Structure 1
Amino acid sequence: MASSKRMKVLLASVLTMMLALFGCNSIGANSMEINQSFSDIHNEFWAKDEVTQLVDKGIINGYPDKQFRPALEVSRGQAANLLATALGLPDAPYRPIFKDVSSKSSHLKGAMATYEAEIFLGKEDGTFGVGDSLTREQMATVIVRAFKLEDTGEDIQFADQNRISESHQEGVKILAQHGITTGKEDGTFDPKTAVNRATYVVFLHRAMVETGKIQETPEVSFKKAGTYGDFNPVRHEQNFVEVPVSKTDKTYLRSNAYLQFAGEKTTKHSHSTDTVYTYKIAGMSPAVVNVTKRQLENGDYFIFSELRNPQRMPVTVDLIQAESGLSKGILREYDRYPVKKDTDDTFGFDMTTYPTGIFEKTYEEGDKSQKMIGKAYRSKELSQKYPNGESSYTRELMDENVAFSSIMLGDTQLSVYTLSSRGYDIVDQWLLVSDQLLFSTNQKMDDWMLESAIYYKKRNKWYTANGPYNKMATTIEPMPASGRGYGRNLLLVKEDRVMALYNQTNERYYESLLYNSFANLDIFRGDQTYWETEVTSTYLKNLFGITAPFVDTRFNEQIALFLYNGGKAFGHDDYNLGLTNYADLLVSQQSKGNIIKVSPSAYYIQDYFPSKQNVKTHSSMNHLLGGMNILLLAYKETGKPAYLETAESLLRALEIDADKWIRKNGDIWYKVSPDHTFVGEDYVHLTLEDLIHSYELWVDIDPSKTAVFEKMLRSKAGYMNQNGKGYTTKIKNGLDRIGMPELLPAGPEHTDAL
């Protein structure tokens, strides 16, 4: 006959089953409502009370990702450590007793202490068996020894008694006599099965209550934990490494593969500092994870996570953040504003959309902060090598995915960012973390999200530590057969729209994006004083045989202006460095022969300067105006005569050819070829913006030289007006500044120039 204690355990089990079957509320009057500590220990979990009490007492812990993993098997080494803690066993000095326990072993304390206490005696082969799974019969014996449980004389037999090892039969019997085990529902004990964490905790807890080492606490009831995204606990064993990106919050990498720290590198940029932490994925060499923290001057920082897997085997790595002291968290998602996808004749279909959203945190003190969360982008690197030894680089985008999921456990927000590789690919994910609000109002945040949805093709969303990737024109190489070719477009590495919005609003998010853009431009440029493309245009290749890398004058002009305006906005001492560097490059092109001569003192500078090729290319109106404007701005900044002299040479060429540039319909030809023919459809808005800027600059330097620009801008604006082409905000403001508002073309207003 079973003892009264054993009967109590059986009755409790039956009662629990009845409550579950009939849907009754099992929370009694004496239950405690507390915050959930682990994402996988919830109100329906059978051992929640025992786990909660032993965790509170520091006898057992969970994992860094706020999971307990109750189904994981317990090893003999782990069981020894837990027993040593539960019993408060004194530390025993290291002795070379066991072949598998060294002086540096993580199981040293438990193995030595439990051996000295005659709880674990080791194995016949001279090992402790630290990595061996603890079986149910072994568990019975060590618990009986550990808590000095005595035989009550009660005769207990299990249906599988003959399967219990002779050396453990007494331990199993005594454990059952004390009601610590009741066996399985079918009357068996199942002696050879490995013990999992939940079962071990329950048996350990019962033994501690039975022997008076702890008092059983009231039943616990967990408050509901809020989740975002597709949050699911990872139940199997995982490996963790801590990434030191924050002094206040914990950040980890998690993977079922072993992660080995492989180095740390710090690089300073003008207004930010990058620290890259590299981790090898053991058994999958040369697969690596790079986590880059980009610390910005304003205190915000980016985290760029990159999983590079140049082999066939798939692998998943999660970046995990645990942020404490929160009272509330809310995710404000971009997908409130649907993206209207279309196929562009020039760029094809763009798979990308926008980031996931902004997670807003409210702290217990009432303060708030925000972080912007990007999606994950899985891609393959492409390259094409040319006879001159140079190469062109793009990426084939395989997919864009929501990487973020989270759970709120008490005052701790656990955020998971998943990088999932299928093999032979790269997975990127990013987030921007601030201890303040990135947007001062919800309305300003919503405005940006809506704009990002409308202009998704021209708003960066796939950020990496080396710059943003965007859909490239279908006329570039290497272009994958899928048409999903993405690259670092210099015009989008610099963030003009963000600069305009920052000047209008001073919002923190735009400030941080600008600091990031400055760093990306610094990385892209490398050791040179100008920027070269890394992608080959087949349009230019077919025309002139040009392949990457080459200098695109328009790209460099706009980058110089961006850095100039940004530097002035932020008060940088080096605000005009990019301006003068590019002006020097333009001045040198006459001596290098990269010009189209109009007269002995008049010429156009070519649009493109190949790196290792000596070829003539065309000069387009927007490029030559942009270059002239840079020279004039640099002259105003420095007073260097060479800048003005070069600008005047370009001006004379325009004055000579003014009538040739203007088409019969009033529009401007796109370009002049090396043979001095004028061809091509001009941009809709861009050239008028440039003409207005040129007019303004010459008014400041020499008003007598503005006639050719007024003639051209009146002709261009008239053509646009007649055809209802509309205008950009820049055109509207520019015409107001120069006193010609009547020239504003009819049609809609555009944010970005076409």
Structure 2
Amino acid sequence: MRKIIGSLVAFLLIFTFVFQVSAQTFRDISNHWAKTEIEELIEEGVIQGFNDGTFRPNAQVTRGQFLAYLVRALDLPAGTSAFPDVPRGSLLYSEIAAAKKAGLILGNSDGLSLISEPITRADVAVMLDRAMQLKGEYMERSSLTYTDSLTIGKYAYRAVERMTHYGLINGTADNTFQPTKIATRGESAVFVHRLMTKLDLLGFTKNPVTLPKPASNQEVVLRINDYQYVKVRMNTRGVPLSYMKQTSSKNPLSTDHHYYYHMGRASKPFGYMRVTLRKLDNGDTFVFTKFVHNGDNTYSASVSLPFEQSTSYSLAKYNAFGTVKQTFSSTYGYDKTTHPTGILSVKRGSTVTNEMMMGKNYISVNRQTTYSNGQKSVLREFIKELESYNVTTDPSKKTVTAKMNVSVRGKAISESWALVSEKKLFESVDNRNRWFERTIKEYGFINNWLTADGAYTKLPWSIEPGYKMGYGRNITRLQGGVYLSAYNGNKERYYRDLVVNALADLNVFSNGAIAKGQTPVFKTEYTSAGLKKSYGTTAPYIDTRLNENAALFLKNASESLSIPELATANLRYADFLVQQKTTGNIIPITATSYLIADYYAPGSKKTHVSLNHALGEMRFLLETYKQTGETKYLKTARELKAGIEKLYPKWVRPNGDLWYQVNGSLVFAGDDYDTLTLADLLMSQNAFAENGIPRSEIFDKMIVSKTKYAVKNKVKISAQISLLLQEQGFGNLIKGTSAASSTSNQFNPDDLPKDTLDLLAQ
């Protein structure tokens, strides 16, 4: 009797469907909790209402109806046969045949589909799971904490674990799953909507937007793509923008389009504005603006990005996750930059159609010192970081507009940036939140002041020209090792965009040499007052450690992002190291051993050698030897290794710490880094093992001395370095310390980076 009634109800529900009823006519969903999902699935043609103007969200759903929703949602190909209880001519025959062919339904032991039976929540989980697997490997599971999880049938248990993990189906308010409860039409709409959202199947048809004409001569409108444009406007009256020129340049995986405009009358401008659209290979675009104001007054400007065919938005702000604690450093002073504003998610209904990372407004002044040889040391004096924006919604035009306000200061440079995407920048909210938290915690190591010329970061006080708020394009910070490590960890889109942007920054810094296949040895563009005083070295000069970082990044990025033209980008720097012996830029130790000076500039005196530089160079050459098999790299690495070892035990200070450097007279000096050199020593031992070189007993002695000093003086040892210590048999040195316990809680050997970039960032 129950089956007969169920079949009759199913027939009536199916028979009364009206396929093109507008969602606005459904009088019974106006206050329903699933209203948005229902309306969007109706627009997608996945689910329909009834010809009496109702949707009946609380009505039960049969197995056949739910399968029909999935078939339409996945747009599955037609099948050739169904089941004995679904004869040809049945209203759902085509959907059930398609579901059978795809494996969404298998039939019971009697070979029947039972499509007229009401569907339980457990069966919903099973069918959703099968649908997910058709589109990829979605095999991760979450341990079930539902109070009734033991009542979930064995056939559905794994599916419930997976669908819970991916957020497609959740428990009730009282933390029960209720596996035998019958699903309703409203609930089913939500389940299928979540499936389509996860699989990126909610594809609204976007119409190309018409590029509007500028409202006045104070406004510029530039097309980003077929669906997006940007407006840049001088809001202060009487400040026109007139066209100067347009240029383009290629970077690895991106192209820069620069648009230049006079500020003020073209016949007598008082500055210029440049808008750069950095278009990435995945369709995302960085929008950089730069105002160079040579006059005295301060003007107001704005950068607006309208998102048409959108109805709402949400904004995830960095400051919701904490406040940057700007601490004083005896080397750098205070870094007054913080973090971007956050991610704007633009929506149509509940579906995200665009996302934008909103940067801030940075005010600075160009500073430089010119030397008698005509060379220059250049940097920026940072003035202020500003945050001012508006996000508005125009329901009549279905448009969400983000406007970033910009202060154009006199005798200064004003810059802002944004990243626009038609996809989510983070698929995982947890990953996004963790990145926000990390950026706040490590604000001094993650670039926030982004420009089309490269990221600007805090410089030490010991620079020339000397400014406490001196910022510059530091080669180590231009390379995106920290973002590449994050991307390799979970493949989030935002990390990849930052990696591609870092590649562009290095290419711009090299004047386009990387894109031409001519990777240079990078030269630092600001002078270190200490180097100038001791050796007469002024910018531009070569810093070996910074070049090591850049070369490693280019090589690793080529592997992670499949950029074959960068696969050998590291060889240029490796060859530079090999050539230093011939150049004479070395400190001889014995007839067969030497160390390479940290810095090189033609005409200046030979500089000192830092232990961490020497270790990094040696390890870099070993990595290059492993890559190429060319013995010149192995020979040079062995000579550097011998040079370090021959100077032992002089490297060790009386207090057990290591000296930072040695000069050409073999005089040791300087306070070493807290743990960077320790990391270099440990990773060097690993590099020896990888290349068949016996472990260095002298390096082990320095590791022991450095670690004991760190423990005694309560120097913080990172979890990664602690793990290296334990792996190499030095765990007893940190036993009972916080460093020892952190490894078991946070890391395992597979989590370690393959290179030094993360450790250097720390």
Range class of TM-score, shorter chain: 0.5 to 0.7
Counterpart in the other structure of 2:653: 663
**Cα distance, 1:694 vs structure 2:** 1.1
Please name the residue that 1:293 is paired with.
Answer: 277
Pick the aligned partner of 2:675 from 673, 685, 688: 685
Match of 1:394 among 365, 379, 384: 379
Does the CA contact (< 8 Å) of 1:403 and 1:429 recur in 2?
no
Identify the residue that residue 306 of structure 1 maps to in structure 2.
290
Give 1:430-469 correspondences, 5 Å limit.
430-469=417-456
Cα distance, 1:341–1:651 mapped onto 2, change above 3 Å: closer
Give the counterpart letter for 1:408 in structure 2. Answer: T
Measured after TM superposition, the shift of residue 705 of structure 1 is 5.0
Aligned to 2:302: 318
Partner residue in 2 for 1:542: 533
Question: Where does 1:530-609 land on structure 2 (aligned, <5 Å)?
Answer: 530-609=521-600
Deviation, 1:573, is 1.1
1:367 and 1:343 mapped to 2: Cα distance? 41
Comparing 433-442 with 732-741, which one deviates more in the overlay?
732-741
Deviations 1:187-227 (A, max 9, x none): xxxxxxxxxxxxxxxxxxxxxxxxxxxxxxxxxxxxxxxxx
User: Which of 525, 528, 540 is matched with 2:510 structurally?
Assistant: 525
SS in 2 for 1:626: helix
Q: Distance in 2 between matches of 1:364 and 1:261?
A: 39
Shift in Å, 1:583: 0.5
Which one is further off, 691-700 or 356-365?
356-365
Structure 1 residues 705 and 737, CA, compared in 2 at 3 Å: closer, same or farther?
Answer: closer
Q: Measure the CA separation in 2 of the matches of 1:732 and 1:573.
A: 35
SS of 2:227 mapped into structure 1: coil
* Correspondences of 1:122-201 after superposition (within 5 Å): none
Structure 2 equivalent of residue 428 of structure 1 = 415
Give the CA deviation at 1:657: 1.3
Return the letter of the residue paired with 1:451. R
2:230 is equivalent to residue 246 of structure 1:
no
Report the CA distance between 1:241 and its aligned residue: 2.5
Query: SS at 1:659's partner residue?
Result: coil
Q: 1:262 aligns with which of 232, 244, 249?
A: 244
Q: Output one character per residue of 1:142-174: Cα deviation in whole Å (capped at 9) or x when no partner.
A: xxxxxxxxxxxxxxxxxxxxxxxxxxxxxxxxx
Following superposition, the deviation at residue 718 of structure 1 comes to 2.5
Matched, 1:371 2:371: no
Secondary structure of 1:342 counterpart: coil
Cα 1:431–1:684 change in 2 (3 A) is same
- With 494-503 and 517-526 compared, the bigger mean Cα shift is at 494-503
Alpha-carbon offset, residue 462 of structure 1: 0.4
Indicate conservation of the 8 Å contact 2:290/2:413, yes or no: yes
Instruction: Give identity over the alignment, percent.
Output: 32
1:409 aligns with 2:394: yes
Offset of 1:417 from its aligned partner? 2.0
Aligned pair count reads 516
**Paired AA for residue 412 in structure 1:** T
- Asked whether the equivalents of residues 238 and 254 of structure 1 are also in contact (C-alpha less than 8 Å), the reply is no
Amino acid at match of 2:618: M
CA contact (8 A) 1:373 1:404 kept: no
User: What is the alpha-carbon distance in structure 2 between the residues aligned to residue 241 and residue 657 of structure 1?
Assistant: 63
Letter in 2 for 1:275: H
Provide, for residues 302-343 of structure 1, a one-character-per-residue CA deviation record: whole Å limited to 9, x for no partner. 111111112224333322211111121111111221122232
Q: For residue 493 of structure 2, what is the aligned residue in structure 1?
A: 508
Contact preservation (8 Å) 1:688, 1:717:
yes
Matches within 5 A, 1:666-745: 666-704=656-694, 706-735=696-725, 738=728, 740-744=730-734
The CA deviation at 1:464 is: 0.3
Q: Distance in 1 between matches of 2:686 and 2:490?
A: 26
Q: Deviations over 1:367-419 (max 9, x none)?
A: 44321000000111011011121100111111111142221111201222222
> Highest CA radius of gyration, 1 or 2?
1
Q: 2:310, 2:353 within 8 Å by CA — same for their partners in 1? A: no
Structure-to-structure mapping, 1:92-103, within 5 angstroms: none
Structure 2 counterpart SS, 1:456: coil
Q: Which residue of 1 aligns with 2:631?
A: 641
Per the alignment, residue 318 of structure 2 pairs with: 334
State the distance in 2 between where 1:404 and 1:691 align: 48
- Aligned partner of residue 569 in structure 2, secondary structure: helix
- Deviation for aligned residue 1:738: 4.3
| Distance change (3 Å), C-alpha of 1:264 and 1:237 | closer
Deviations 1:636-667 (A, max 9, x none): 11111111111111111122112111223332
Partner SS for 2:351: coil
How has the CA–CA distance of structure 1 residues 329 and 318 changed in structure 2, closer, same or farther, with 3 Å as cutoff?
same
Amino acid at match of 2:449: W
Residue number in structure 1 paired with 2:201: none
**Can you list the C-alpha shifts for 1:238-286, whole angstroms capped at 9, x where unaligned?**
7322212222123222224222222221111112111111122232515
The question of whether the paired residues in 1 share the 8 Å contact of 2:536 and 2:604 is answered with: no
Gaps of 5+ in 1: 1-235
Would the aligned equivalents of 2:537 and 2:604 in 1 still touch at CA under 8 Å? no
Q: In 1, are the aligned partners of 2:307 and 2:346 still within 8 Å (CA)?
A: no
Displacement of 1:237 in angstroms is: 7.3
Is the CA contact (8 Å cut-off) linking 1:307 and 1:419 kept in structure 2? no
Residue in structure 1 matching 2:337, options 345, 352, 358? 352
| Distance in structure 2 (CA, Å) of the matches to 1:735 and 1:517 | 32
Deviations 1:42-78 (A, max 9, x none): xxxxxxxxxxxxxxxxxxxxxxxxxxxxxxxxxxxxx
* Partner SS, residue 311 of structure 2: strand
Tell me what 1:471 maps to: 458
Distance 1:697 1:541 in 2: 34
* Deviation of 1:289 (Å): 1.2
Query: Quick one: distance in 2 between partners of 1:740 and 1:502?
Result: 31
How far does residue 365 in structure 1 lie from its aligned partner after superposition?
A: 7.5
Among candidates 248, 251, 258, match of residue 276 of structure 1: 258
Q: CA deviation at 1:730?
A: 3.1
**Which amino acid is 1:342 matched to?**
T
- For the pair 1:498 / 2:488, whether they are aligned, the reply is no
Which one-letter code corresponds to 2:228 in the other structure? Answer: D
Contact 1:375 1:404 in 2 (8 A): no
Q: 1:553 to 1:741 in 2, by over 3 A?
A: same
Q: Helix, strand or coil: the match of 1:405? A: strand
Contact 1:242–1:253 (CA<8 Å) still a contact in 2?
Answer: yes
SS of match in other structure, 1:358: strand
**The residue matched to 1:457 in structure 2 has which SS?**
coil
Whether the 8 Å contact between 1:369 and 1:438 is mirrored in structure 2 is: no
The answer for unaligned runs of 5 or more in structure 2 is 1-214, 514-518, 744-757
User: What is the letter of the counterpart of residue 730 of structure 1?
Assistant: Q
Q: In terms of mean alpha carbon deviation, does 493-502 or 326-335 score higher? A: 493-502
How far 1:744 moved relative to its partner? 4.6
Secondary structure of the residue aligned to 2:682 is helix
Partner of 1:134: none
Is this contact kept in 1: 2:294–2:410, CA < 8 A? yes
RCO higher in structure (CA 8 A, sep ≥6):
1
Rounded to whole Å, the distance in 2 between the matches of 1:596 and 1:382 is 35
Normalising by structure 1, report the TM-score. Answer: 0.66
CA contact (8 A) 1:302 1:430 kept: yes
How far the C-alpha of 1:422 sits from its partner, in A, is: 2.4
Q: Which moved more, 1:311-320 or 1:668-677?
A: 311-320
